[in-house]
Amino acid sequence: MMKKNILLITLLFSMSLVAQKQQASPYSFFGIGNSFQSKTVEESLMGGVGTAISDPIHLNFSNPASLSGLRFTTYAIGAMNSQTTVSDNTKQQKSSIFSLSYLAVGIPLGKKAGITAGLRSKTGVGYKLTDGDFSSASGLYTYEGNGGASSLFLGGGVKIYKGLSVGLEGAFVFGDVENTITYNQETTQYDTRKKTVSTLRGFDTKFGLYYQKKVSKKNNYSLGLTFLKSKDITVTETSSFYTGFFSGEFESIKKTLTPTNQSGSVENPINTTLAVGYGEFSKWHASLEYSFNGAVKYKGGTLVNNTSQVTYNDYNRVSLGGYYIPKFNSLTSYFSRVTYRAGIKYENLGMNIKNTQIKDFGMSFGIGLPMGKGLSDVNVGFEFGTKGEVNTSGLVKEKYFNLKLSLSLGDKWFIARKID
């Protein structure tokens, strides 16, 4: 019965994940939207570290090689409520969006290997921007967008020599981005609207290495290395032009022109992540992680409006974080079995807008609340930070507060029955 319920939840969750609105950020206007790191909630609550961590009861999206340490079948669901405050020199605007982040299952294969599969968000678009004035001669332009890309992934890791493990993950990338430009002017009879739907398709391949070695009876250090190569994401774009009455959610079309089609691509360079960790098994762990890649390139005649005002350059991220468990097998204190997580991150997003490099700084805190016999837990925490800055060129500063929640359900599969 439990497995049937999990299957039903999986199907409903998958449909919701693909169809949802995931962003409320002006910076998602550019390109194919804001990128989501391939991290579980547990990893993101430690500043995004995970490449040098292997956990027997939790999934790891950072490094497929770490799956060699998975010991129990694990179902994982993640979600986020993002509250954003955007401000410029004169005013500010607040918004709140709830979105589902991922759904995945991990299965151990003996004592030296493990696999995982699932669905997770890759990019998100969600913005509404205005320029001009309805009563002026130049009129009012309203820019709106929504959508994004998801990835359907399958990965695995295996231990090949003592503490050394290797892993490989493949992911099919798919999604749609809708961008709309509406022009309203007081003295014109009809409004004008251009709606562009961009269909995204691509494939990601990630190779990982993980090494762990004991340095004392209790403590060990770990190293992680991953290479992520994204095959060019193809963009098939259909643009439609309308005249009519467009005000807010109201739409009355009077005339439609013949749609036009364009094709293009997004070229993502190889992303490299290096990480080092140190700690005591089932007690504490601290990791330092560095990730970098070259500039993203947009080719062809697609997404022209969304890339004309931005220059893409090198991306890099530094994360520092970890966890602490007072006593994981305590029989007298529940809170001694709770996992406490914290971390910080600094990202150079690889975007230069109006001569300003866009950066993201965030801090995160969270706890993991054990359930039942300790194979399952609820993870909850928050991440807050800033993105961008206010300048004289009209750039805005975004402050975000993300409430993150995940459910990790552990179970034992493939246990041979014993006959007395």
- Residue 22 tokens read as 């995931």
Q: Mean of the pLDDT values across residues 79-93?
A: 87
Summarised one tens digit per residue, pLDDT across range 357-404 is 999 999 999 999 999 877 899 999 999 999 998 876 778 899 999 999
Summarised one tens digit per residue, pLDDT across range 57-85 is 999 999 999 999 999 999 999 999 999 99
pTM of the model: 0.89
Summarised one tens digit per residue, pLDDT across range 159-170 is 999 899 999 999
Half-sphere exposure in the Cβ direction for 256 (13 Å, CA): 9
pLDDT at 7 over 50: no
Q: Identify the band that residue 419 occupies on the pLDDT scale cut at 50, 70 and 90.
A: very low
Summarised one tens digit per residue, pLDDT across range 289-333 is 999 999 999 999 899 999 988 999 999 999 999 999 999 888 889
Half-sphere exposure in the Cβ direction for 375 (13 Å, CA): 12
Which of these, 348, 325, 347, lies nearest to 337 by C-alpha position? Answer: 325
pLDDT for 17 equals: 54
382 with 21: CB under 8 angstroms?
no
226 with 208: CB under 8 angstroms?
yes
pLDDT for 22 equals: 62
First-to-last alpha carbon distance for the chain, in angstroms, is 27
If DSSP codes are grouped into helix, strand and coil, which group holds residue 189? Answer: coil
**Of the candidate ranges 8-22, 138-152, 339-353, the one whose mean pLDDT is the lowest:** 8-22
Neighbouring C-beta atoms of residue 110, cutoff 10 Å: 11
Fold entry, domain 2-411? Porin (2.40.160)
pLDDT at 12 over 80: no
Give me the DSSP letters along 253-282: EEEEPPPEEEEEEEEPPPEEEEEEEEEETT
Summarised one tens digit per residue, pLDDT across range 94-142 is 888 898 999 999 999 999 999 999 999 999 999 888 888 877 777 888 8
Neighbouring C-beta atoms of residue 216, cutoff 10 Å: 7
Average of per-residue pLDDT values in the chain: 89
36 with 124: CB under 8 angstroms?
yes
Q: Mean of the pLDDT values across residues 275-288?
A: 95
pLDDT for 20 equals: 56
Name the burial class of residue 258, with classes exposed (0-12), middle (13-18) and buried (19+) by CB atoms within 10 angstroms of its CB. exposed
**Of the candidate ranges 2-6, 17-21, 56-60, the one whose mean pLDDT is the lowest:** 2-6
Which of these, 50, 49, 45, 74, lies nearest to 64 by C-alpha position? Answer: 50
Q: Mean of the pLDDT values across residues 13-29?
A: 66
- CA dihedral (347, 361, 28, 119) in degrees, to 10, reads 70
Rounded to 5 degrees, φ, ψ at 9 are: -60, -40
pLDDT at 173 over 90: yes
